[in-house]
């Protein structure tokens, strides 16, 4: 990610921060619409889940300019997700639902540059989490 992409992600996330509860509601609605099979992995009541997701996203977004600092937490998060039943192939689905949600939340502020910056950010994070949780063929001995 370039420094200007990091800035775009941070600035756009700041714009939806005041409506983060709605963002989380829209995100899970969208996720379960496109991937109904993952609904059963989550608790029935998503109230706490919504807060945790948005809180973690805020930490990661703020940490983009100093990625090394957030990687240990991202690794631990990824490993916990194995126990939640998350699979590597779920990550792109979650990413698509997240981007779709941000697009709705940001309206006109969702420009092609902002979209590209978020794609880079989610790609970096999810690529790292997948590698940490599921490893490469060599690592999985
Ligand atoms: C970058 C991507 C993701 C982030 C930032 C994220 C964030 C979180 C956070 C903060 C929690 C709260 C629990 C904890 O901290 O351990 C959580 C729980 C959970 N996540 Fe994710 N997640 C991501 C990707 C995924 C994916 C790809 C799936 C697959 C369907 C998934 C499914 C779940 C489930 C099932 C739970 C827990 C349910 C329970 O409490 O039993 N997440 N996630």
CA of 81 from ligand 1 middle (Å) equals: 6
Query: What's the Cα-to-Cα distance from 13 to each of 40, 44, 93, rounded to whole Å?
Result: 28, 27, 20
Q: Residue 111 region, left (φ>0) first, then alpha (ψ -120 to 50), else beta?
A: beta
The percent of residues in the chain predicted with pLDDT above 90, rounded, is 94
Q: Is 81's C-beta closer than 6 angstroms to any atom of ligand 1?
A: yes
Q: Is 53's C-beta closer than 6 angstroms to any atom of ligand 1?
A: yes
The answer to whether 61 and 122 are in contact (CB under 8 A) is: no
Please give the radius of gyration of the chain, using alpha carbons only, rounded to the nearest integer: 15
Residue nearest (by alpha carbon) to ligand 1 atom 27: 91
Tell me the pTM.
0.94
Q: What's the chain's average pLDDT?
A: 94
For 54-108, how does the pLDDT look when each residue is reduced to its tens digit (9 = 90+)?
999 999 999 999 989 999 999 999 999 999 999 999 999 999 999 999 999 999 9
Q: Which atom of ligand 1 is nearest to the CA of 86?
A: 29
CA–CA gap between residue 16 and residue 55 (Å, rounded):
13
For 96-138, how does the pLDDT look when each residue is reduced to its tens digit (9 = 90+)?
999 999 999 999 999 999 999 999 999 999 999 999 999 964 4
């Amino acid at each position: 990610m370039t420094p200007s992409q990091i800035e775009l992600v941070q600035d756009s996330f700041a714009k939806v921060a005041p409506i983060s509860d709605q963002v989380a509601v829209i995100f899970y609605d969208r996720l379960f619409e496109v991937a109904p099979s993952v609904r059963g992995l989550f608790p029935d009541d998503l109230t706490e889940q919504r807060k945790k997701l948005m809180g973690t996203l805020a930490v990661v977004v703020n940490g983009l300019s100093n990625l090394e600092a957030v990687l240990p937490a991202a690794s631990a998060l990824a490993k916990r997700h194995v126990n939640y039943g998350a699979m590597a192939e779920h990550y792109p689905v979650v990413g698509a639902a997240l981007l779709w949600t941000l697009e709705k939340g940001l309206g006109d502020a969702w420009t092609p540059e902002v979209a590209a910056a978020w794609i880079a950010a989610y790609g970096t994070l999810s690529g790292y989490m997948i590698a940490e949780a599921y490893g490469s063929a060599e690592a999985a001995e």
